[in-house]
Structure 1
């Protein structure tokens, strides 16, 4: 299953440049305790708080963040624990980075942990996509994941950040499917732009 590679070199070039250039913008908390609600399943008709797509209708890694009493105004008032839900890891980081600039930082944020699920890859009209895993126990703290960015496996929004709690799993995936390895604090606006997310 070989995806259409058009445009991947330019995205990869941007990603390599962003990481190699030591971009200083940092996503998420600095050192300290990250405590908050446990993740929830995202298979009950939830829509993405970045792009409004129904989460369960799409492949790839998903995310969620909990803001508690510091919930951004864009979230519904009745959302438990100031929760935000995302159809992709790229949508999650776009929302989190934008809200951090506005002074809202999540107490804790989660992404799909592909070290703990039996994922599959499939061909979708010439593009390789990775399976979605929406159950609560498929998530890990974003700070604890090593991401493979811009591999030949895509998610809901195309180029993706596929997270693994075991760095060896991330390296093995990268070896087979290409891409760049990134830690949580290396995911910046420039990286998202390289993945095709307009911010």
Structure 2
């Protein structure tokens, strides 16, 4: 066969495969974090409590999260919550809430978590445990599906072992190299992963 025809056929096949792959990723992104369309993140530094465990968010270290349910807010949320926002003191509370409510047919329009690639975080010693700083301003958040999570590292947050998220995959890899753990993406987070987090 003519080499130009082979080259054209190969490019066409690659285009089709790329289109199928991108389409599949788009379908997965619709779960547990919406379709990327929804309200912008808001700061969580006004005395808010976690909608999963009731702890006061600003009193604890580590990654936090929020999800906007709009008109499809789970019944556990107050009816007057603007945009049906649910707020969380940790990444594990975020995902536990999202997964439980997805099983009940409630999926958020959009969900966010702390992006440690966007902040100057600190690690401190808390009675022999290394904890990572909390960042509660709206600018510190990224969509959950954009984060690479370091899990089961030797660094903890509000609820013990945390899912520490980075939009930059190299930042996640460097953190895991220094502090241990494995890297997971948004679509990897399941109930089994959450129950396997070391306390």
TM-score, structure 2 normalization: 0.83
Among residues 19, 37, 40, which one is paired with 1:38 in the alignment?
A: 40
Query: Residues 25-104 of structure 1 correspond to what in structure 2 (within 5 A)?
Result: 29=31, 33-104=35-106
Deviations 1:160-195 (A, max 9, x none): 000000000000000000001000000000010011
Could you say which structure has the larger radius of gyration? 2
Higher relative contact order (CA 8 A, sep 6+): 1
Displacement over 6 Å in runs of 4+: none
Change beyond 3 A, Cα 1:49–1:30: closer
Change beyond 3 A, Cα 1:55–1:155: same
Tell me which protein shows more helix as a share of its residues. Answer: 2
Query: Residues 147-162 of structure 1 correspond to what in structure 2 (within 5 A)?
Result: 147-162=149-164
Change beyond 3 A, Cα 1:90–1:28: farther
3-state SS of paired residue (1:140): strand
CA RMSD of aligned residues (A): 1.8
Unpaired runs of 5+ in structure 1?
A: 1-25
Distance in 1, Cα, partners of 2:72 & 2:182: 33
2:34·2:107 contact (CA, 8 Å) conserved in 1?
no
Distance in 2, Cα, partners of 1:177 & 1:164: 14
1:180 paired to 2:168: no
Deviations 1:2-56 (A, max 9, x none): xxxxxxxxxxxxxxxxxxxxxxxx8962898420000000000100000000000
2:176·2:183 contact (CA, 8 Å) conserved in 1?
yes
Unpaired runs of 5+ in structure 2?
A: 1-27
